[in-house]
Amino acid sequence: MTDVLRVALAGLGTVGAGVIKLLDANRELIERRAGRPIEVVAVSARDRSRDRGVDLSRFAWEDDPADLAAREDVDCVAELIGGADGSALALARDTLAAGKSFVTANKAMIAHHGLELAEAAEKAKVALKYEAAVAGGIPVIKGLREGAAANEITSVYGILNGTCNYILTEMEAKGSDFADVLAEAQRLGYAEADPTFDIDGIDAAHKLAILASLSFGTALDFDTVATSGIRRVIAEDILEARALGFKVRLVGTAEAAGGKLFQRVHACLVPRDHPLAHVAGSLNAIVAQGNFVGRLFFEGAGAGEGPTASAVVADLIDIARGEYGPAFAMPHARLTQAEAIEAGDRRGRAYLRFTVHDRPGVLAEITAAMRDANVSIESMIQRGGAEPSEDSDDVVSLIIVTHEGPERCVIDALERLKGAQSLAGEPMLMHILDL
């Protein structure tokens, strides 16, 4: 290894180009902080000719990213290709097997294969770093791995997807419906052409599983993250939530209790005085609750060229400084296997929206189901339509907020109401964040 940290970049999309721009712009400062220069020496991407606003002629080019790992002039590979498997994973394995440090912004790959890669990095005594994989520029991986390392973390939760948060805050600001805001976000480039990963909560679930492992010392467990998104949130939900003192946010929540683990990504109601309620637009934010430090809150840009590049280069600086250890804060063999907590076993409050026929007896049918399922109602709002009558085709919304109780009771109540004559559509359930 020479004095220079020689980096290969795989993937030259927004983030890859951003890393090159950052290393150019802050070169002297980074060299002072890292203790030695950090230089890109080789790159690989699908299309060599595309204009990325950076001069690539200085770098060696590899058509196949897999060839970067073996280059003798490379100390360390930064992977910015994406995708849980495929060439990204192959490159990660090859790099670590070659005894070189590996940096990635790839949340899907870390969520699915992080444990295997952590083991490979330990064996090779090199770094596996992924600050950019969670919440873009916010140094939350470092904050949990190191800053809060003295604490037993009991919960970690936050706003982990900027696209969803942008859509929800736009819906809030304009009273628009989901589909309209999504279309506008796609037009502006804030949402992908295929937005599934974002709006169905999968992207947030990847990040949550990583945060949970790091926070609780449990092995990565993406498969048990109960994941839903924001497709079913309507303008009325946001309006009613506001009237009740809440904002609607897509929140990833992970909790550890008695050696067990609960992980969920869901649209939920956040009390107006909770720090997450103030997180607007495409920002991300994470809360960690530690047994000595109390509540820590981190906020910043969760995506984009500059913030993500900032996180990738922070990892490179750590590597240049030699300041790194096990990827998940402890050797992979010391991570525990945690059983998943059933949602039904949790306690909480819930927001329910029923789309009901505007007929007599509707309230009685729904409240009876609540009673039979032992759900206690904290508040109920029905905004009147016209006078109800037996043959009315009108539908109105009925909003119920429950008292705190076992989630299984709410699930049971909804089960009892399946096929009920009163209902004109699928009920909407959002949990209330009372952390």
Task: List active site positions.
Answer: 207
Q: How far is the CB of 361 from a second copy (least distance, A)?
A: 45
Smallest CA-to-CA distance from 250 within 302, 210, 295 is with 302
Within 10 angstroms of residue 100's Cβ, the number of other Cβ atoms is 25
10 is in an annotated binding site: yes
**Which tokens belong to 323?**
């300041």
51 binds a second copy (CB under 8 A): no
12 is in an annotated binding site: yes
When binding is defined by CB under 8 A, the residue of 11, 18, 65, 114 that contacts a second copy is: 18
The CA distance from 249 to 158, in Å, is 9
139 binds a second copy (CB under 8 A): yes
428 binds a second copy (CB under 8 A): no
Contact region for a second copy (CB under 8 A) — 62-70, 74-82, 185-193, 328-336?
328-336
50 binds a second copy (CB under 8 A): no
Q: Which residues of 171-184 are buried (b: 16+ CB within 10 A; e: fewer)?
A: bbeeebebeebbeb
Amino acid at position 252, single letter: G
When binding is defined by CB under 8 A, the residue of 9, 10, 20, 34 that contacts a second copy is: 34
Smallest CA-to-CA distance from 318 within 120, 95, 36 is with 36
Q: Site mask, a second copy, residues 201-230, x = CB under 8 A?
A: ----------------x-------------
Smallest CA-to-CA distance from 277 within 306, 255, 247 is with 247
Contact region for a second copy (CB under 8 A) — 77-85, 261-269, 296-304, 402-410?
296-304
Q: How many residues contact a second copy, by CB under 8 A? A: 59
When binding is defined by CB under 8 A, the residue of 152, 345, 372, 426 that contacts a second copy is: 152
158 binds a second copy (CB under 8 A): no
Nearest residue (CB) to a second copy, 79 versus 315: 315
Asked if 117 and 144 count as a contact pair (C-beta separation under 8 A), the reply is no
**In the chain, what is the straight-line distance between the N-terminal and C-terminal CA atoms, in Å?**
48
The C-alpha angle 399, 405, 406, rounded to 5 degrees, equals: 110
371 binds a second copy (CB under 8 A): no
245 binds a second copy (CB under 8 A): no
Contact region for a second copy (CB under 8 A) — 99-107, 146-154, 388-396, 409-417?
146-154
The CA distance from 59 to 218, in Å, is 40
The CA distance from 384 to 252, in Å, is 34
When binding is defined by CB under 8 A, the residue of 111, 241, 309, 432 that contacts a second copy is: 309
When binding is defined by CB under 8 A, the residue of 2, 83, 297, 364 that contacts a second copy is: 297
When binding is defined by CB under 8 A, the residue of 317, 338, 373, 433 that contacts a second copy is: 317
The C-alpha angle 395, 397, 400, rounded to 5 degrees, equals: 150
**Which tokens belong to 125?**
């005594």
13 is in an annotated binding site: yes
313 binds a second copy (CB under 8 A): yes
53 binds a second copy (CB under 8 A): no
Q: Look up tokens 């790091």; give the residue.
A: 214
What would the DSSP string read from start to end of 338-354? -EEPPGGG-EE-EEEEE
24 binds a second copy (CB under 8 A): no
Query: In 42-106, which residue ranges form alpha helices assigned H by DSSP?
Result: 66-70, 86-97
Q: How far is the CB of 80 from a second copy (least distance, A)?
A: 15
Asked if 333 and 365 count as a contact pair (C-beta separation under 8 A), the reply is no
Q: Is 35 helix (H, G, I), strand (E, B) or coil?
A: coil
Q: Is 422 helix (H, G, I), strand (E, B) or coil?
A: coil
The CA distance from 153 to 148, in Å, is 8
306 binds a second copy (CB under 8 A): yes
Smallest CA-to-CA distance from 27 within 40, 17, 16 is with 40
Contact region for a second copy (CB under 8 A) — 256-264, 291-299, 337-345, 419-427?
291-299
294 binds a second copy (CB under 8 A): yes
Q: Look up tokens 């299309």; give the residue.
A: 47
290 is in an annotated binding site: no
Q: How far is the CB of 5 from a second copy (least distance, A)?
A: 13
Contact region for a second copy (CB under 8 A) — 193-201, 224-232, 262-270, 308-316?
308-316
When binding is defined by CB under 8 A, the residue of 37, 271, 325, 388 that contacts a second copy is: 325
The CA distance from 156 to 264, in Å, is 11
Contact region for a second copy (CB under 8 A) — 68-76, 204-212, 319-327, 406-414?
319-327
Known binding-site positions for L-homoserine? 192
Known binding-site positions for NADPH? 107
Binding site for a second copy (CB under 8 A): 18, 22, 25-26, 29-30, 32-35, 131, 137-139, 142-143, 146-152, 217, 275, 278, 290-301, 306-307, 309-314, 316-318, 321-326, 329-331, 334
